[in-house]
Amino acid sequence: MKQFFYIVFGGLAIVILCLFFVKVGVSVTTPAPVVPVAPSSVTYEEDNQNETFDLLYSMSTTTAIAISAKSYVVMNVDNGSITISRNSDRILPIASLTKLVTAVVAENVLSSGVRIVISKQVLDTYGNSAGFREGEVFMSDDLLYPLLLVSSNDAAEALAMSYGRTEFIKVMNDFARSIGAPSTHFDDPAGLSPKSVSTARDQAIIMSWIYKNHPELIDITALKLKTIRSHTWVNPTHLLSWSYYLGGKNGYLPEANRTGVSLFKFSSTTPTYAVVVLGSQARDSDVVSLVRQIKK
pLDDT tens digits for range 57-69: 555 555 557 899 9
> Coil, helix or strand for 259?
strand
pLDDT of 52 higher than 60:
no
Task: Give the 3-state secondary structure of 106-128.
Answer: HHHHCCCCCEEECCHHHHCCCCC
Domain with residues 66-294, CATH architecture:
3-Layer(aba) Sandwich (3.40)
Rounded (10°) angle between helices 283-294 and 49-60 = 50
Residue type (1 letter), 206: I
Q: How confident is the model over 253-273, as pLDDT tens digits?
A: 999 999 999 999 999 999 999
DSSP codes joined into one string, 168-208 = HHHHHHHHHHHTT-TT-B-SSSSS-STT-EE-HHHHHHHHH
Kindly list the domain boundaries of the chain, sorted by start residue. Answer: 66-294
Average pLDDT, the chain: 84
